[in-house]
Amino acid sequence: MAAKHAGKAWLGVCLVSLLTACSQGSGFSDLDKFMADTRAKPRGHVEPLPEFKAYEAFSYSAADRRAPFEPPVDVQLTMVDEQPVSNVEPNLDRPKEVLENFDLKQLDMVGTLQGASGNLFALIQDTVGGIHRVRTGNYMGQNYGRVIGVNETRIELIEIVPNGRGGWVERPRSLTLEEEEG
């Protein structure tokens, strides 16, 4: 039995020595030559990226003028001789109320309160976070807006604005309750 194991061992040693003798690197000579030639060549140089100029935005300043390819429009001044027909004027002697320092677009109606006597007050929020009570007869907005009516969802105002001809004209406005989505 020992001779049987010795024969297998001898066969294994022969196979290993045969494989080692065949793999002496003879199959890689062309690859070694290619690698040596490649390493011997001068290395390439990559050019740096060119510097780009920053984009400068162009601002077209003639947008409010007449287009150069359209014919001029005849302007007829029909309102020059007219006198203001309205006798509406704001009361400039009246002391200003707090909400007259804000434009109406900056004010929001956020709710209502009903007093013990049944008077309805609207709650107005300004841009700085203050809440103000408003009722009929109060003033708000920068155009002399007088509150003429308050209900649960709306405030009605009459503003006095210039008419462009040296006079004044009344303009109705309203603020509605801002419903929060939730």
pLDDT digits (tens, 9 = 90+) for 71-88: 877 766 655 555 556 688
Q: How far, in Å, CA of 132 to CA of 121, rounded?
A: 9
Residues 60-78, mean pLDDT to the nearest whole number: 75
**All domains in the chain, ordered by first residue:** 100-176 (2.30.30.830)
Amino acid identity at 90: P
Q: Does the pLDDT at position 66 exceed 70?
A: yes
Task: Find out whether 140 and 99 touch, Cβ atoms under 8 Å.
Answer: yes
Residue 16, H or E segment: helix 2-22
State the pTM of this model.
Answer: 0.52
pLDDT digits (tens, 9 = 90+) for 95-137: 999 999 999 999 999 999 988 888 899 999 998 889 999 999 9
Report the range of poorest mean pLDDT among 15-24, 39-48, 75-84, 115-124: 75-84
